[in-house]
Structure 1
């Protein structure tokens, strides 16, 4: 299995925010993790990425136990992270922000067709090419989101954890970010997606996990979710 999360339990102080969470993502798959606010979706991504340390359970990536690894080690094994807050460096140029995503500060073999070079990033994000020398603080929200995704790709991840990529974006930019994620997946990158926009999530995902409070309540394909109004009402209020 590509990514496997087994019985993950995470606490914030005394609050048991993830209760025996289990999920998996296969190679080249897009999996959506959906639910109402405060259910633990972002914490699940942070627990996988090593930003929050689980109390028990396991995170396996390509058969390797990476539970409790610090974020830089998780990145080195091939997992990228696009946080909800974007976290660009406002005083740095677009190019400098992108270069910060390179693992270990070492540029990979540019001849490898699977490597995300600056040129390849600009092919997928032409808007970033136009803004290449601008400081991050002058970018729009949508451009900052694209920069965050592009920076993560510069680390050549095999799996991308993406947290609320369309939050706060205008409809045209929502579609653009959605299409970018689809193209990234077609280029061979698996995606675990947290997304409040159900239409976007279901148009991308192969499979869906729905979270109730701190637990997984539904697992199925997008077709199975669309055919299950009870699950949608219970976990999504749709």
Structure 2
């Protein structure tokens, strides 16, 4: 579904991504794991059209995207759950969700907002309880739920998630990853960029390891988790 080939990105003299190639097939979770500064957010933003690569190719269902602006990519079905949520803090939960469907309405398709909002509320009952509450007044975990719900409102072909567990309590992290797993079971396609390698590899089908802007390892998530290098990097231990 989504394919990146030899993507390179630089910020001035600093190289953030170096000939990165990866693919995400329909209906799977692909984890992109790496430490802080590895280039994960740059890759997500490049896919979304927020960062322009210096070279390479991006395709969605065989459609070239390199010259496609970010708003057109949203219309084509790329939804982003950005790092730090980036909600409209002064607006209510319900209004934030409605804005998630904007790309559909801009294409002349009048969205059934009620049906989709109820779908999000079924996934996150806490949002239903707080639907009139301003987003900025909610906890970090609730805001992350809202960011995911907002992305779902666009009925995306693929969801790009950038560090959805960052800054959250362990109990909320477990819930967020359970929801991501449920979305895959519903047929959603997800590219998940995360520092939390253990949680990511437990739910992912495949994974890529990004280090200093380069893909250094890739394969089935379950097999990568058995690698001594992965355990040493992310848990400080060797496989026993």
TM range (shorter): over 0.9
Summarize deviations over 1:94-130 as a string: whole Å, max 9, x none: 000111111336265549xxx9711111111111000
Partner Cα separation in structure 2 for residue 133 and residue 143 of structure 1: 13
Alpha-carbon RMSD across the aligned residues, in angstroms, is: 1.9
* 2:28 is aligned with 1:29: yes
- Map 1:47-196 → 2, pairs under 5 A: 47-104=46-103, 106=105, 108=110, 110=112, 117-196=116-195
Deviation at 1:69, TM superposition (A): 2.1
Contact 1:158 1:188 in 2 (8 A): no
- TM, length-normalised to structure 1: 0.92
* 2:211 is aligned with 1:212: yes
Partner Cα separation in structure 1 for residue 128 and residue 183 of structure 2: 17
Summarize deviations over 1:17-66 as a string: whole Å, max 9, x none: 11000000000000000111111111011111101001110110001001
> Does the residue aligned with 1:117 lie in a helix, a strand or coil?
helix
Change (3 A) 1:93 1:235: closer
Change (3 A) 1:126 1:183: same
Summarize deviations over 1:117-147 as a string: whole Å, max 9, x none: 1111111111100000011111100000010
Moved over 3 A (4+): 107-111, 231-238
Contact 2:33 2:196 in 1 (8 A): no
> Does the residue aligned with 1:18 lie in a helix, a strand or coil?
strand
Higher mean displacement: 65-74 or 34-43: 65-74
Unpaired stretches in structure 1, ≥5 consecutive residues: none
Aligned residues: 234
> Does the residue aligned with 2:190 lie in a helix, a strand or coil?
strand
Higher mean displacement: 65-74 or 15-24: 65-74
Partner Cα separation in structure 1 for residue 190 and residue 156 of structure 2: 10
